[in-house]
Each structure stands twice: as C-alpha cells, then as structure tokens.
Amino acid sequence: MVPFHPMLAKVHITLKNGVLDPQGKAIHSALNQLGFEGVSNVNLGKYLEITLDTMPEMEAKKKVREMCEKLLANTVIESYQITLVP
C-alpha cells in the first residue's frame, strides 16, 4: 500500500495572446517609474496551488483540467497550464 501522500497541482492562468493586459501594463510603467531599466514586457496572471488527495496522475490531471475549464479560467480570455507535483 502506498501511504497517504497528497499531490499538488500547480495551475498557471494567463491571458491569451491578443488580449490586452492592462494590469501587466500598469506594473510595467510602475517599474519604469521606479527606475528599473531593461524591462521590455510584463504580464500578470494567476497562480493556483491545489492540494489533492492521493489519486493516479492521469485522473488528477483530468480532474484539474476540468476545474480549469469550468471555473478556474475564463477561456474566453485566459489559457491555463497544469503541472502536477507528486
């Protein structure tokens, strides 16, 4: 028997190409104002850490993908990427 061993799903949600990122832009200009040079672009996204009970990796991936499609990302403007850390 495998001992109880939770799994961590890391989800990155970012704006799709072609969708203007006003927050990223605002941060970019704030960085410029603070005197940080050499920054050519800033994008802001969301980062979720979801702790799952033990389950097969395939199942976990499928489950988290479904969560993203349904709730976590707004697929009209956002795309997502899932990484599993056992």
What is the distance between the alpha carbons of residues 43 and 33, in angstroms, rounded to a whole number?
Answer: 17
Residue 10: other Cβ atoms inside 10 A: 14
Residue 84: contacted member of other proteins, a second copy, none (CB under 5 to 8 Å, by partner type): none
Residue 79: contacted member of other proteins, a second copy, none (CB under 5 to 8 Å, by partner type): none
| C-beta of 48 vs 84, nearer to a second copy | 48
Residue 32: contacted member of a second copy, other proteins, none (CB under 5 to 8 Å, by partner type): none
Region 29-58 residues binding other proteins, contact defined as CB under 8 A:
29-30, 33-34, 44
**Alpha carbon distance, N-terminus to C-terminus of the chain:** 16
Interface pick for other proteins out of 6, 8, 23, 39 (rule CB under 8 A): 23
Distances (CA, A) of 64 to 28, 30, 39, 45, 47: 31, 34, 33, 18, 13
